[in-house]
Amino acid sequence: VRTVKVPLAERSYDILIGPQLLKDLPKYCQSLQLGTRCSIITDSHVGPRYADDLKSSLHQAGYKPDVVTVRAGEKSKGIRTVDYCYDALSLHHLERRSFVIALGGGVVGDLAGFVAATYLRGIPFIQVPTTLLSQVDSSVGGKTGINLRAGKNLVGAFYQPRLVVCDSGTLRTLPRREYVAGIAEVIKYGIIYDASFFNYVEKNMPKILKRDPKILAFVVARCCEIKSEVVGQDETESGTRAILNFGHTIGHAIEAISGYGRYLHGEAISIGQVLATRLSKEVKGLAESDVSRITKVFAAAGLPTKAHISAPMQKRLFDAMRHDKKVSDGEIKFVLAKKIGAVEYGVKVPEETISQLLNS
């Protein structure tokens, strides 16, 4: 078992990572001294695979678990599902010391985290992320929340879990496309923070694609460490944390203009990172050899590295980027790479430079 400590004073918690941790969850719960009642919030894909076993092992350990299943998919990250979960929690008589277990991907994590943050003004919660994306991204940082019709993640709370358990074995049942999408975030951590981790991912891509549990445990742990360090340097989200948005300015815009659903988030930020890499060459003098390695590693994962964006779509792309908060005076701000492992944030790039790149 690998442990990553997330240091946040009295809200510090551990992320445990390993191949078969789900069965030991009751043991870990015991060390946290929580109440006996708990609700496992999960979705319709993950629940049927993992919730029954978890429920019975918790039961055997003396807990009183209940399973709350929501429909799989982003649509469940909304106020109606929150309401449904609140009702389920109160029917199961959860009280202040009871706890919520989020068993699923980022959707379930954000939803269940928000429910736990607000039910009875906050009860403990444990994250059991089951997608690669949620293991390397949403399990660190304490952001929970839901979508409104007006946009994604508009309502939420910073709320830290008491424990995160990443069972690399659960990634075996993840659909390949979802799994590969998560690799885009893994590669990102190498580019923004750690050149030797980038080398490692580059070298081990075939094993990563085979979901080798040992390799995965290392990869997930290193990503959590990096995110935790970056977030720890900047809890208020004023500066450094922005580097986590590498590839996301263009990536989010691509998601928005192509209609949510065409590209998975990881696919859109794969294209976004490759474009940001090429911008980095123009603006920051990133070496062509680094541009080529970065592009190749995304391709080796099976991720898209380019999208044809027609002239009218380009106009919409710019509108979407301007809408994405990180803009001042008609110049869009980017995270750009100086070399693999070192990036700079808040770099203003004229729109002309971006459109030249899109048309080249």
Ligand X SMILES: NC(=O)c1ccc[n+]([C@@H]2O[C@H](COP(=O)([O-])OP(=O)(O)OC[C@H]3O[C@@H](n4cnc5c(N)ncnc54)[C@H](O)[C@@H]3O)[C@@H](O)[C@H]2O)c1
Alpha-carbon gap, residue 305 to 275, rounded angstroms = 8
| 241 classed as catalytic | yes
Six token digits for residue 312: 């009218």
- Give the DSSP per-residue string, 131-167: SHHIIIIITSS-EEEEEETTEEEEEEEE---SEEEEE
* Among 346, 241, 325, residue whose Cα is nearest residue 283: 346
Residue nearest to ligand X (CB): 106
Catalytic residue among 143, 188, 222, 278, which? 143
Catalytic option among 37, 45, 77, 227? 227
> Of the two residues 105 and 251, which places its CB atom closer to ligand X in the complex?
105
Nearer to ligand X, 37 or 188 (CB): 188
Is residue 282 flagged as an active site residue? no
For the CA atoms of the chain, what is the radius of gyration? Answer: 20
Active site residue 237: yes
Q: Shortest gap between Cβ of 327 and ligand X (angstroms)? A: 21
**H/E segment holding residue 13:** strand 13-18
Q: Between residues 211 and 293, which has the closer beta carbon with respect to ligand X? A: 211
Q: Is 308 a catalytic residue?
A: no
The distance of Cα 21 from the centroid of its chain, to the nearest Å, equals 20
323 is catalytic: no
Q: How far apart are CA 355 and CA 317, in angstroms?
A: 10
Give the β-pairing of 13-18 and 163-167.
parallel
Binding footprint of ligand X on the chain (CB under 6 A): 43, 45-46, 49, 72-74, 77, 104-108, 110, 130-131, 133-134, 137-138, 141, 143, 153, 170, 173-174, 178
* Closer of 220 and 309 to ligand X (Cβ): 220
Closer Cβ to ligand X, 91 or 154, answer by number: 154
> Which residues, other chains included, contact 227 with Cβ-Cβ below 8 Å and sequence gap of 6+?
136, 137, 140, 141, 189, 244
Measured from the CB of residue 220, what is the shortest distance to ligand X in angstroms? 13
- Out of 37, 77, 185, 278, the active site residue is 185
Q: Give the shortest CB-296-to-ligand X separation in angstroms.
A: 24
Per the annotation, the verdict on 252 as an active-site residue is: yes
Instruction: Report, as residue numbers or ranges, the catalytic residues.
Output: 121, 143, 185, 227, 237, 241, 245, 248, 252, 265
